[in-house]
Amino acid sequence: MNCIARHCHFALALFSVTAIYFWSNTPASAAATDSRPRIIVSTDIGGTDPDDFQSMVHLLVYADSFDLEGLISSPYGPGRKEHILEVIDHYAKDFANLKTHSERYPTPEALRAMTKQGEAAVAPYAGVRRPTEGSQWIVQCARRDDPRPLHVLVWGGIEDLAQALHDAPDILPKLRVYFVGGPNKKWSPDAYQYLADHHPTLWIIEANSTYRGWFVGGNQQGEWGNKEFVSRHIAGHGALGDFFNTHLGGTMKMGDTPSVAWLLKGTPEDPSKPGWGGQFVRAWERPYLRFDRLTTSKDRIEVFGILELVLSLSADAPAKPEAQLLVENQSLVGHVAEDKTVRFRFSPKDPKTYTFTIRGNVPSLDGKTGGITAVLPSPDLAKQPSADFPNWWTDDPTPELAEGAFFGAKTVSRWREDFLRDFAARLERCKSPATTQKKTAAKTASD
């Protein structure tokens, strides 16, 4: 490499580093001119929930609509930061086309710089464990001098959000959280309970079943079917479209996408208003039941509630007692407390009867069995907002808004043709550059 080439190479590298530094240190004066929602996405992509790959594709084709500040890997399973980077690699292939449609699409380099590794294990009984790169990034972004709220969209474990609030409770007023709960809450019961116990004034939408309206119900005829839509409008549409098509056998799910759609079309500051991401009610008292005994199928708990079993250790317990609660595909590690009890927390994600077995080195508990029956919430609860959770929102239990057992799901599925038609138009951007007329319009919109 000659001297001039080396000089150019160094200048280009310096420019890239400076650009990333400028992006991460944008002053309030610049932020004040940007009306787009600030967002961080926390995802279990690449873990046990493959539809997050699809939701990430959807997010990135709409990336110009947001001031995207963070992508955090927050799994309870094998998903890691590199799975987010894998999607960004496909975005990079389509970037040349995308940026002709809007100058506000972030560069692949900027996306990679904001991608962080979060907590990779479920929280202990305390609900928090240690700071992670992901939780620290939430704190850093929330503390930026920016008048806009910071929207944290939780697609996986809620551990990094809990850790961030534990380490920096001052950021709470800045946050607006959309938590796709249900199965994710099932895997994060201790982190969730930490938030409910210690940060009840958090502004949060707890969507345990509403999100299912993205792929259940609505018009699923012809091109609007979950499989047909993929073959017609996603496959063959750039690198991102083809990547989407390789997951879930070419069938659309995108269960976490309502959190993004809530910011695209609706009234984000008022979840009681209708929108693509659902329509919610003020939360009633968060369902929590504690038993000092083994429960049976005759005991009842509200679906998505938190069941806590507090069981006494017998005199013959070893010096280091260990116990696990085996229920469906979970092995919940018991917390041995100072009061000589072992404690388990479980969140049922379906309205049905569950059975469980305890295994461990405590003779009086090993092999013991029990159960619990999860039931749908009463519609009357929508009229009983909790004073303790003034900014907490959740699924509307009105029967007319349910898709089967998934209450609230019709508040999303009713918009199915609208949001899918819009998504199809967005995917065309991956496939082809904008015309001269569209480029002019995009430049005008950016200015």
In a domain, 156, yes or no: yes
Q: Work out the percent of the chain whose per-residue pLDDT is above 70.
A: 90
What pLDDT band is residue 30 in, cutting at 50, 70 and 90?
low
Q: Where are the alpha helices (DSSP H) in 339-406?
A: none
Distance CA 102, CA 430 (A): 12
Task: Enumerate residues 6+ apart whose C-beta is below 8 A from 292.
Answer: 310, 311, 312
Residue range 406-427, pLDDT digits in tens: 999 999 999 999 999 999 999 9
Amino acid at 402: A
Q: Is the pLDDT of residue 439 over 60?
A: no
In a domain, 64, yes or no: yes
Average pLDDT over residues 424-436: 92
Q: Token pair of 377, please? A: 């919430």
412 and 292 in a common domain = no
Q: Provide the CATH number for the domain around residue 264.
A: 3.90.245.10
256 and 167 in a common domain = yes
In a domain, 11, yes or no: no
Give the pLDDT of residue 444.
52
Q: Which regions of 194-287 does DSSP assign to beta strands (E)?
A: 204-207, 280-282
Give the pLDDT of residue 33.
78
Q: Token pair of 288, please? A: 């929590």
Residue range 337-366, pLDDT digits in tens: 999 999 999 999 999 999 999 999 999 999
What pLDDT band is residue 32 in, cutting at 50, 70 and 90?
low
What pLDDT band is residue 441 in, cutting at 50, 70 and 90?
low
Could you tell me what percentage of the chain is helix, strand and coil, using 3-state DSSP and rounding each to the nearest 5?
Answer: 40, 20, 40
260 and 405 in a common domain = yes
200 and 63 in a common domain = yes
Under a CB-based contact definition with an 8 Å cutoff, are residues 108 and 95 in contact? yes
145 and 106 in a common domain = yes
Q: Provide the CATH number for the domain around residue 332.
A: 2.60.40.10
In a domain, 104, yes or no: yes
Q: Which helix (H) or strand (E) holds 278?
A: none
206 and 189 in a common domain = yes
160 and 39 in a common domain = yes
Give the pLDDT of residue 140.
98
Residue range 48-87, pLDDT digits in tens: 778 899 999 999 999 999 999 999 999 888 889 999 999 9
Scored b (16 or more CB within 10 A) or e, 125-145 reads bebbbebbebbbbbbbbbebe
Residue range 88-105, pLDDT digits in tens: 999 999 999 999 999 999
426 and 342 in a common domain = no
Beta bridge partners of 204: 177, 392
Average pLDDT over residues 109-136: 97
280 and 333 in a common domain = no
C-alpha neighbours within 13 Å on the C-beta side of residue 48? 12
Query: CA torsion 44→46→48→51, rounded to 10°?
Result: 80
**350, 376, 402 — which closes off a domain?**
376
**326, 356, 376 — which closes off a domain?**
376
Residue range 201-237, pLDDT digits in tens: 999 999 999 999 999 999 999 999 999 999 999 999 9
Give the pLDDT of residue 247.
87
314 and 201 in a common domain = no
Averaged pLDDT of the chain: 91
In a domain, 3, yes or no: no
297 and 256 in a common domain = no
C-beta neighbour count of 299 within 10 angstroms? 16
**318, 345, 376 — which closes off a domain?**
376
Give the pLDDT of residue 183.
93
Q: Work out the percent of the chain whose per-residue pLDDT is above 90.
A: 85
Report the number of distinct structural domains present in the chain.
Answer: 2
237 and 308 in a common domain = no
Domain residues for the domain of 175 are 34-284+387-446
In a domain, 429, yes or no: yes
In a domain, 24, yes or no: no
Give the pLDDT of residue 15.
38
Residue range 361-400, pLDDT digits in tens: 999 999 999 999 999 999 999 999 999 999 999 999 999 9
Distance CA 439, CA 189 (A): 48
In a domain, 9, yes or no: no
